[in-house]
Amino acid sequence: MSALKGKRKEYLTVKDLQKVLDSCKLNLNQIDEVWPNIYIGNVAEAQNKAALQKLDDSTHFDLDVYFQPAADFIHKALKSPDGKVLVHCIMGMSRSSTLVLAYLMIYRHLPLKQALQKLIQKRAIYPNRNFLALLLDLDLHLTRKKKTCQIL
């Protein structure tokens, strides 16, 4: 048992990621530039934040099917002259930030934890637990893919 205590944890957990997110000290704004020419924002000033957060924060939505198409869209838009992208959802905290994180992982080759750390320097985000779990799956997939490519 003592050998396990000294061994470094191999995989991140949702709880690990939530600790990174909890370290963010920024206030939530209507819109923020979170990466050069990539913005995350909300649709409009929220009047009932609790009700709107429930809409934005579904714990059962399979957002991962949109990771690659959204990342492709952002990448293509940024390649155009003067390209800028606004990624938004109702609160600008969960869905939009999850899609930007997926882009950073897929096209900028950032590990999930590093991508989270970069975004929380620019915006108060908080992807829900389901979205964090989906991002962890993507992170694991991309890590395995990278290792396989290095072996070949």
Q: Return the CATH number at 123.
A: 3.90.190.10
Q: What is the pLDDT of residue 32?
A: 80
Q: What does the pLDDT look like over 74-124, one tens digit per residue?
A: 999 999 999 999 998 888 899 999 999 999 999 999 999 999 999 999 999
Within-domain flag for 19: no
What is the 3-state secondary structure of the chain? CHHHHHCCCCCCCHHHHHHHHHCCCCCCCCEEEEECCEEEEECCCCCCHHHHHHHHCCCCCCHHHHHHHHHHHHHHHHHCCCCCEEEEECCCCCHHHHHHHHHHHHHCCCCHHHHHHHHHCCCCCCCCHHHHHHHHHHHHHHHHHHHHHHHC
Within-domain flag for 98: yes
Within-domain flag for 70: yes
Q: Is the pLDDT of residue 2 over 60?
A: no
Q: What is the pLDDT of residue 41?
A: 76
Q: What is the pLDDT of residue 58?
A: 64
149 flagged as catalytic: no
Residue predicted with more confidence, 76 or 38? 76
- Domain span at residue 106 reads 26-44+62-151
Single pTM value for the model: 0.74
Within-domain flag for 83: yes
Q: Which of 21, 70, 85, 89 is catalytic?
A: 89
Q: What does the pLDDT look like over 44-74, one tens digit per residue?
A: 533 445 534 554 556 678 899 999 999 999 9
Token pair for residue 63?
Answer: 């957002």
Residue 31's nearest CA partner among 91, 116, 110, 76 is 91
- Please give the average per-residue pLDDT across 11-38, as a whole number: 90
Q: Provide the number of structural domains found in the chain.
A: 1
Q: Is the pLDDT of residue 31 over 60?
A: yes
